[in-house]
Amino acid sequence: MDSILVTGNGPLNGQIPIAGAKNACLTLMPATLLSDEPLTLTNAPRLSDIKTMTQLLESLGAEVRAMADGQVLAMSSHELTNLRADYDIVRKMRASNLVLGPLLARAGEAVVSLPGGCAIGARPMDLHISALEALGADIDLRDGYLHAKVSGGRLTGAVHEMRFASVGATENFVMAATLAKGTSVLKNAAREPEIVDLIHCLQKMGAKIDGAGTSTITIEGVDRLGGATHPVVVDRIELGTYMLAPAIAGGEVELLGGRIDLIESFVEKLDAAGVDVWETANGIATKRRADHIKAVDVTTEVFPGFPTDLQAQMMAMLCTADGVSNLEETIFENRFMHAPELMRMGAQIDVQGGTAKVTGVERMKGAPVMATDLRASVSLILAGLAAEGETRVNRVYHLDRGYERLVEKLSGVGAKVERVPGV
DSSP conformation letters of 287-304: EESSSSPBP--EEB-STT
Burial class (CB in 10 A: 0-12, 13-18, 19+), 88: exposed
Q: How crowded is the C-beta side of 27, counted as CA atoms within 13 Å?
A: 31
- φ and ψ at 112, to 5 degrees? -125, 130
CB-based contact 6:384 (threshold 8 Å): yes
**CA-based end-to-end distance of the chain:** 7
DSSP state of 16: E
DSSP state of 181: B
CB-based contact 247:273 (threshold 8 Å): yes
pLDDT value at position 120? 39
CB-based contact 319:364 (threshold 8 Å): yes
For domain 3-19+234-420, give the CATH number: 3.65.10.10
CB-based contact 323:361 (threshold 8 Å): no
Q: Which residues contact 191 (CB under 8 A, 6 or more apart)?
A: 165, 213, 214, 215, 302, 303, 304
Question: Are both 3-19+234-420 and 22-231 of the same fold?
Answer: yes
What is the homologous superfamily of the domain 22-231 according to CATH?
Enolpyruvate transferase domain (3.65.10.10)
Q: Where are the domains of the chain?
A: 3-19+234-420, 22-231
d(CA 173, CA 135): 8
d(CA 43, CA 17): 11
CB-based contact 203:237 (threshold 8 Å): no
The pLDDT tens digits along the chain (423 residues) read 899 999 999 899 999 999 999 999 999 999 999 999 999 999 999 998 999 999 999 999 999 999 999 999 999 999 999 999 999 998 888 789 999 999 999 999 999 998 755 443 445 688 999 999 999 999 998 888 999 999 888 999 999 999 989 999 999 999 999 999 999 999 999 999 999 999 999 999 999 999 999 999 999 999 999 999 999 999 999 999 999 999 999 999 999 999 999 999 999 999 999 999 999 999 999 999 999 999 999 999 989 999 999 999 999 999 999 999 999 999 877 789 999 999 999 999 999 999 999 999 999 999 999 988 888 899 999 999 999 999 999 988 888 888 999 999 999 999 999 999 976
CB-based contact 165:190 (threshold 8 Å): yes
Phi-psi region of 123 (alpha: psi -120 to 50; beta: other; left: phi over 0): left
CB-based contact 203:209 (threshold 8 Å): yes
Q: Sign of the C-alpha dihedral, residues 168, 173, 179, 185?
A: negative
Give CA 140 to chain center in angstroms: 28
Catalytic residue flag (residue 25): no
Q: Give the distance between the most distant pair of CA atoms in the chain.
A: 66
Smallest CA-to-CA distance from 399 within 33, 47, 102, 52 is with: 47
CB-based contact 42:231 (threshold 8 Å): yes
pLDDT value at position 119? 44
pLDDT value at position 124? 66
- The CA distances from residue 307 to 201, 328, 374, 401, in Å, are 23, 11, 14, 18
Smallest CA-to-CA distance from 173 within 27, 273, 295 is with: 27
pLDDT value at position 118? 46
d(CA 301, CA 306): 5
pLDDT value at position 423? 64
Q: How many CB atoms lie within 10 A of CB 153?
A: 9
Burial class (CB in 10 A: 0-12, 13-18, 19+), 80: middle
Rg, Å, the chain Cα set: 22
Catalytic hit among 25, 118, 201, 319: 118
Q: Which residues contact 268 (CB under 8 A, 6 or more apart)?
A: none
